[in-house]
Amino acid sequence: MRAVKSKDTGPEMVVRRLLHAHGFRYRLHQRTLPGSPDLVFPGMRKVVFVNGCFWHGHDCVRGSRMPKAHARYWQTKIERNRRRDEKVRGQLQDQGWQVLVVWECEIANPNLLERLAKFLQTNKTPANRHSGR
């Protein structure tokens, strides 16, 4: 697992390039914020996490696949990641930040830019506090 990156992953780079090409400017991995969000838009008080489906336990095909070897270890680890993600989203929202989670499986979706732009251009708090799951 040492080779698994937490920053500058393939899906994260796709989202960064897409947003930058469309005029959105952001900060990266702000360690002063809970969870060190992948993309931070300080003026808008919005953050974007780009999560790998397997590592964060997404309910898609890739995220629900569980390794057969050491299954108990992986179940525990992924469940711990899910709880941590939930806690971090809550902390950010309690501090007045709006949070969007982009899943690895959504990267190929042609509507991704539209979803990101809609999130970044709205000033309303999302109705679903823990959206992205």
- Per-residue pLDDT of 41-92, as tens digits, reads 999 999 999 999 998 989 888 777 888 898 899 999 999 999 999 999 999 9
Q: How far is CA 128 from CA 100, 131, 133, in A?
A: 11, 5, 10
Per-residue pLDDT, 125? 47
SS3 of 99, please? Answer: strand
- Cα distances (angstroms) measured from residue 45 to each of 72, 82, 94, 97: 38, 23, 12, 5
What mean pLDDT do residues 12-27 have? 94
Q: Which CATH architecture has domain 10-26+40-112?
A: 3-Layer(aba) Sandwich (3.40)
Higher pLDDT, 55 or 131: 55
With a cut of 70, say whether residue 4 has pLDDT above it: no
Question: Does the pLDDT at position 131 exceed 60?
Answer: no
Return the percentage of the chain with pLDDT > 70, whole number.
87
Assess whether pLDDT exceeds 70 at residue 130: no
Q: Say if residue 1's pLDDT is above 80.
A: no
Confidence of residue 15 (pLDDT cuts 50, 70, 90): very high
Whether 58 and 133 have beta carbons less than 8 Å apart is answered as yes
Q: Is 20 left (phi over 0), alpha (psi -120 to 50) or beta?
A: alpha
